[in-house]
Amino acid sequence: MTASPITEAAARPLTALSEEERLFQTTVRRFAREQIAPHVREMDEAGVFRKDIIRQFFELGLMGIEIPEEHGGQGGSFFQCVLAVEELSAVDPSAGVIVDVQNTIVNNAILRWANEEQKRRYLPKMAGGTVGAYALSEAGSGSDAFALSTRAVEQDDGFLITGRKLWISNAAEAGVFILFANVNPDAGYRGITAFLIERDFAGFQVGKKEDKLGMRASSTCELILDNCRVPKSNVLGDVGKGYKIAIETLNEGRIAIGAQMLGLAKGAFGHAVAYAKERKQFGQPISNFQGVQFQLAEMATQIEAARLLVYNGARLRDAGMPFVTEAAMAKYYSSEIAEKVASRAIEIHGGVGVTRDYPVEKLYRDAKIGRIYEGTSNIQLVTIAKGILGK
């Protein structure tokens, strides 16, 4: 059976959008439904995202939303990035990941921390056809992000980097990587430095692709660095300041993870509403039963609360106001309700909900990672607590 359409009610934002933002949102939504939706199941089963769709992301400007027009981008806002991630994730969260990492992590870091020469060299690539990836995590460095063991040794006019990165999103497709290594382990986190690494650098290799529970079409790979030579001109920001780049970039990226999970929940809810209206028991649609209505009402309320948290975080960021606590709230709450809404959507579908003939099974699998990556739910609670206690 084909997937149920996402209802307009599920897609309707209740926070004020400008006409430009609404047009942008509508365009991305239409693209996702028309161009991505027919291929979602195929990509999930293959564990590979279609290259032609990624090419369309670039053609539509979705991979360079905040990049200035003089560098080939759209000159848009962070809020528009969030809208794009939300709408794509409502159809396929794997699509949301690709656009999210590109815009709110990689492009964002280059825009904020690169020098002018690096911007001229890399921003046109990121807007014009090169996928980016962000390489921080390692086997022993997850929530303790700065326990990384990848080492960069200064030599002549560059650095030799040796180590192994794990769980790197977009790695299979990426041509540019923002990678973190320690140039002075004795200094602890103050030795961590960010580097711009290109895929064809000697000593750099993309390794095994993970076989995952969900988000299967979004590539997650290991990176292997064996005396990878990186010129000094490819240091992003200052030597020893990589920890600051990582923290501040991830703080912003968490708002977009919230958008991913918001979109996922919105998609699952839309399928649940559509199915409840068409599925009949005891001679009438199950949407007529108060028990089902209560479930849908609770789901809708949770989605609206998540949307307001995500949009608020994005608006604060664009306004240049403090947003770290609000970003953590958005990421925490959206990832929690995405799993709950997807689970409830399966229950409303009944037995068919656990089969691959219906899309809610996939969305439930996709939801699990939301509480883990870019800071677990516990890490978000720590951040929120520090914010409200002024620590």
User: Helices 242-278 and 324-349: crossing angle, nearest 10°?
Assistant: 30
| Exposed e or buried b per residue across 226-241, where buried means at least 16 C-beta atoms within 10 angstroms of its C-beta | eebbbeeebbbbebbb
- DSSP, collapsed to helix, strand or coil, labels residue 178 as strand
- DSSP, collapsed to helix, strand or coil, labels residue 225 as strand
* Biggest CA pair distance of the chain: 79
State how far the Cα of 101 lies from the Cα of 128, in Å rounded to an integer: 16
The owner of tokens 């990049």 is 67
Active site residue 222: no
Cβ contact 333:306 at 8 Å = yes
Task: Give the Cβ contact number of residue 163 at 10 Å.
Answer: 20
Residue among 173, 222, 252, 374 flagged as catalytic:
374
Tell me which H or E stretch contains 297. helix 290-318
Burial of 21 (0-12, 13-18, 19+ CB in 10 A): middle
The catalytic residues are: 374
